[in-house]
Amino acid sequence: MYRKYRNIVRIRILNMQTHSDGIENTLKEKLSRSITSIQEETSEENPVPDSSEVTNRDEKESGNDAANDDDDDAENNDPDGEPAKKGKKLSDEELLEIQDKIIEEIVNVRIPLLKEITSADPVELDKHFRNAVLFIAQAYFKFNKHGILRTRPYKIRLDDTLASNGLLAYYLKALHHLKEEGHAYLGEGGAILQDKPFCNITKTLINCSDTGDSFCRHVCEVDGFLDFLVDFLRNHLKGHIEKTNKESVETGIRNIVGCLHNVSVRSENRQVLKDHGVVEIVLEYSEQSPKERIRLSTLFTLSFTLDESQSHLFASNPKQIKLLLSYLSQAMESKIRRHKGYSAVELAQAVSQLSINDGNKKLIFEQDALPLLLHLAKGNKENEQIEATKAIWMLAFDEDNQTKMKNNSELIELLETLKGHNNKEVRNNAKGALWTLKEKSEQHKIQTEAESGVKESEVKHIMISYNWGHQKLVKRINQELKSLGYKIWLDIEQMEGSTLGAMAAAVEGACVIIVCMSQKYKDSPNCRAEAEYAYNLQKPIVPLLMEKGYRADGWLGMLLGTKLFFNFSGKYPFEDKMRELIKELGNQGKGQSVDQTDVAQSLPMSMSSLPAPSVPKKVESGAQTWDNAQVKDWLKKIGLENDNLNNVSGKELMFLRGLRSEAPEFFFSYLNNKLNISGLYDLQVFTDALRQL
């Protein structure tokens, strides 16, 4: 139901007359012209209140929306439906007209007003400031009753508008002013009213970051804004734990924590969050908060921001994982598939995200996540099946988990069934999980050669392995290389029914693999399966950096080792990096293949059709017969005298050599933890020397 705005112009003009001389007359003129004709079908008039917190009366969209309360599991809150409405339903044209006027008012009146106030000296956060903050906060909820499908485009547009007009720079100045002692402003009767605009500002943060990518980037880009949020959480942690904070502070904590989670979902923001100390303060709340919702929200943030070196933090305190799985279980039992504002999809996604780090895979499996994921994958909601099968695939990369999962007949039967699912993501995840779990040994080469129509001996191309998030840049690199005569295998077009083993054939037939590394690449099970397969076949790998600030860790860091990468993140001119890449490639992939299509058409960066990788052939070597003394001499020659290897025989050394190909994760983990070979230089020297035995 909408409000009429017949009296609002009169109220605003009266307010303006009492404002300080710092506000320009042009703003008054703009204000007097704004929103004079918004007509809404309603039986009552209810002007926008002077100053109050945004109420939680609107439909719920996400676990990170400020409108979500702890008791929001009401069946009429189904986010996939469109709630019943009284009165005449507005047409799309009428709805768009009203939305246009709200956006216009924000751009032409509200934000200029905020800019004028926050740039004044001294700052006066008066009624006009409060109304502007309130108007922007309420703008997010204006059209919720029309359903998500009709309101989401408006919300994305609103978020883009706020970000492009620099809203948070003005809010940051206001927030600093609000926290300074002696700068409180007074309301009617002398009441201090600091809390209300603060709460409305933080609600705008959580709501707009939940919808828009541009707003999340805005949070990271405004100088000092993340620092303010982190400082606020740090300064009020003790009061939060001891339950002595006032209600407005707790509202701020809840909204800021939710905002940081929303920002962390976008992979391009994660390094910025790490650099500003977000991980450390969020971890403290995750471990010490007395409120379940705060602990869970911070766990979500950690699932996106913790790197491999920090995954042990969960192993030492698994209660957060138990809480997550408990919420998932209860959401699955709910008729609306939610528990305390969190949907089963969101919770399964968190399980999948936490499973990316190898250190978490075993812990999550041991906490009985698999039965929940199986149940979710058996359901009839495709979005839940996508997240469940992806999480299952992630867990399958752990060797200990693999043994148990391969013996789980219910799991294997389900994955075999889901291979034929109508949804391509479910189908891809199921096939990928089976490929990771099953060992079909040498059978795949015969199959892939037959299906691809190209014999391994005939193929001499360069394969580009990438995540679709960087497709535009990858296409540009591809075109440059093709123009110079290179034969490129690039998966750019999805085709249903693509041949089984096309990707495996591409890896096997490549003379070199270009790996386009980024956080998205590292997080993708598709990319991992492909890259590890290339590594197991000992294909030469050339890494390209696609994301500013990204540092490869975990399985990708181990796989790439000390290889020189070429920075295509935009830090340097594209042409300069192309020249370096071309020099590195040399004549590899030039004029060495039969007449064939140099751009493959199959599933996008997908190993969905791949059979299992082959087992490397046994290598005979004189080192098999070495005794301890000979191994010690060999270590001395390569400059790695190591007491931990003094008792290693040649046979054991060759076994270790085999592990490098068959189980690279275990191989590098063993070198680091058991043999104390941890430096990148030492790792390179040892693995290169081992390869040459």
Instruction: List, for residues 302-332, the tens digit of each pLDDT value.
Output: 988 887 777 666 665 688 889 999 999 999 9
Whether the CA torsion 133, 139, 145, 149 is positive or negative: it is negative
pLDDT value of position 173: 86
Q: Cα dist. 121→18, 136, 172, 430, 497 in Å?
A: 18, 24, 15, 62, 67
Residue 156: φ, ψ to 5° = -65, -40
Task: Using DSSP, state whether 241 is helix, strand or coil.
Answer: helix
User: Angle, nearest 10°, between helix axes 195-211 and 148-164?
Assistant: 110
Domain ranges of the chain: 1-35+91-190, 306-438, 456-585, 622-691
Residue 338 phi/psi, 5-degree rounding, is -140, 155
Across the range 561-582, mean pLDDT stands at 89
d(CA 327, CA 345): 11
Q: Is 586 exposed, middle or buried (0-12, 13-18, 19+ CB in 10 A)?
A: exposed
Average pLDDT over residues 191-220: 83
Distance CA 662, CA 677 (A): 19
- Residue 183, classed as helix, strand or coil, is coil
- Can you name the CATH fold of 306-438? Leucine-rich Repeat Variant (1.25.10)
Res. 87 pLDDT band, cuts 50 70 90: low
The SS3 call for residue 616 is coil
For 541, the enclosing helix (H) or strand (E) is strand 541-545
Burial class for 21, CB neighbours closer than 10 Å (0-12, 13-18, 19+): exposed
CA–CA distances in Å: residue 177 to residues 87, 181, 237, 432, 613: 44, 9, 21, 53, 61
* Residue entry with tokens 């590394």: 517
User: For residue 571, how far is the Cα from the chain centroid?
Assistant: 22
Q: Are 130 and 51 within 8 A, CB to CB? A: yes
- Mean pLDDT, the chain, whole residue set: 75
Provide mean pLDDT across the span 82-102.
Answer: 74
Q: Nearest 5°: phi and psi at 32?
A: -70, -20
The per-type count for the chain, helices as H runs and strands as E runs, is 35, 7
Most confident of 8-22, 303-317, 569-583: 569-583
- The Cα-based distances of 89 to 103, 117, 147, 155 in angstroms read 21, 39, 12, 19
Question: Is the dihedral angle over the CA atoms 542, 547, 549, 550 positive or is it negative?
Answer: negative
Residue 61: predicted pLDDT: 37
Report the alpha-carbon distance of residue 97 to residue 85 in Å, rounded. Answer: 20
Residue 510 φ/ψ, nearest 5 degrees = -85, 145
Q: How far is CA 25 from CA 7, 16, 21, 29, 109, in A?
A: 21, 9, 9, 6, 12
For 79, 286, 389, the CA distances from 248, given in Å and listed in that order, are 28, 20, 41
CA atoms within 13 A on the CB side of 586: 5
Q: What is the pLDDT of residue 663?
A: 63
Cβ pair 124, 113 in contact under 8 A: no
- pLDDT, position 344: 92
3-state secondary structure at position 603: coil
Number of residues assigned to the chain: 693
Question: Which tokens is 577 given?
Answer: 């990096």
Q: How confident is the model at residue 56 (pLDDT cuts 50, 70, 90)?
A: very low
Please state the separation of Cα 663 from the chain's center in Å: 27
Chosen CATH of 456-585 out of 1.10.3720.10, 3.40.50.10140, 2.40.10.10, 1.25.40.10: 3.40.50.10140
**Cα(255)–Cα(249) distance, integer angstroms:** 10
More confident residue, 663 or 125: 125
Q: pLDDT tens for residues 535-559?
A: 888 899 999 999 988 888 888 888 8
